[in-house]
Structure 1
Amino acid sequence: MTEPINQLCPVSKQVHSSRPRQQRATITKTKILEAAARAFAYDGYAATSLGDLLSASGTTKGAVYFHFDSKEAIARELVAHWSTALNHAYAAAIDSQRPSIAQISLFFRDLAASISVSPLARAGLRLTTETGIDGAREVFAHWVNVTSSLVDKAIASGQLPDNPTTRQLSWTLCAGFIGTVNIFRILGDTGDFTVRMHDLVTVHLEACTAEAKG
Structure 2
Amino acid sequence: MARARQERAEITRQAILDGAAAAFDQCGFEGTSLSDVVKHAGVTKGALYFHFPSKEALARTLMDEQFQVSEGVPAIENPGLQTVIDLTHQMAHGLRTDVRIRAGIRLVIEFGSFTHPDPTPYDTWIDTCRDCLTPAQERGDIHPALDVQALSTLLVGAFTGIQVTSHVRTRRDDLHTRVTDLWNFLLPTLVPPHRRSLFHPTGTLQLSPEPPTD
> What TM-score, normalized by structure 1, do the two folds share?
0.69
Q: After the TM superposition, which parts of structure 1 deviate over 6 Å for at least 4 consecutive aligned residues?
A: none
**Contact persistence 1:34–1:120 (CA under 8 A):** yes
The yes-or-no answer on 1:63 pairing with 2:47 is yes
Question: CA separation in 1, counterparts of 2:44 and 2:170?
Answer: 31
Deviations 1:20-77 (A, max 9, x none): x555544432232122223333433233222332333343211211221111111121
Equivalent position to 1:116, from 96, 121, 124: 96
- Say if 1:36 and 1:74, in contact at 8 Å, map to a contact too: yes
**1:102 maps to which of 61, 74, 82:** 82
Alpha-carbon displacement from aligned partner over 1:152-189 (angstroms, at most 9, x marks no partner): 22222222124468653212221222223323433444
Indicate the SS of the match to 1:139: helix
Q: 2:182 aligns with which of 200, 203, 206?
A: 200
Provide the rounded CA distance (Å) in 1 between the counterparts of 2:7 and 2:128.
36
Asked whether the equivalents of residues 161 and 209 of structure 1 are also in contact (C-alpha less than 8 Å), the reply is yes
Superposition map of 1:4-23 within 5 A = 14=1, 19=4
Name the larger-Rg structure.
1
- Give the Cα separation in 2 of the matches to 1:152 and 1:144: 12
Partner of 1:38: 22
SS at match of 1:191: coil
Q: Which residue of 2 aligns with 1:178?
A: 160
Q: Percent identity?
A: 29
CA distance in 2, matches of 1:122, 1:84: 13
Q: 1:79 to 1:207 in 2, by over 3 A?
A: same
Q: Which residue of 2 aligns with 1:144?
A: 126
Amino acid of the structure 2 residue aligned with 1:110: Q
1:91 counterpart = 2:71: no
Contact 2:25 2:106 in 1 (8 A): yes
Q: Tell me if structure 1 keeps the 8 A contact 2:16–2:37.
A: yes
Query: Cα distance 1:177–1:147, how it changes in 2: closer, same or farther (>3 A)?
Result: same
Distance in 1, matches of 2:12 and 2:170, equals 28
Distance 1:188-1:39 versus aligned 2 partners, 3 A rule = farther
User: Cα deviations across residues 123-151 of structure 1 (Å, max 9, x unaligned)?
Assistant: 223333415679x6323211111212222
In 2: Cα distance, 1:204 partner to 1:165 partner: 14
> What's the Cα RMSD here?
3.2
Contact 1:128–1:139 under 8 Å retained in 2: yes
Instruction: Describe the superposition over 1:178-203 as per-residue Cα deviations: whole angstroms up to 9, x where unpaired.
Output: 22332343344453544432332332
Quick check: which one's helix share is greater?
1
Q: Is the 8 A contact 2:18 2:100 kept in 1?
A: yes
Normalising by structure 2, we get a TM-score of 0.69
Where structure 2 has 5 or more consecutive residues not aligned to the other structure, the ranges are 193-214
Q: Which of these residues, 74, 82, 87, is aligned with residue 58 of structure 2?
A: 74
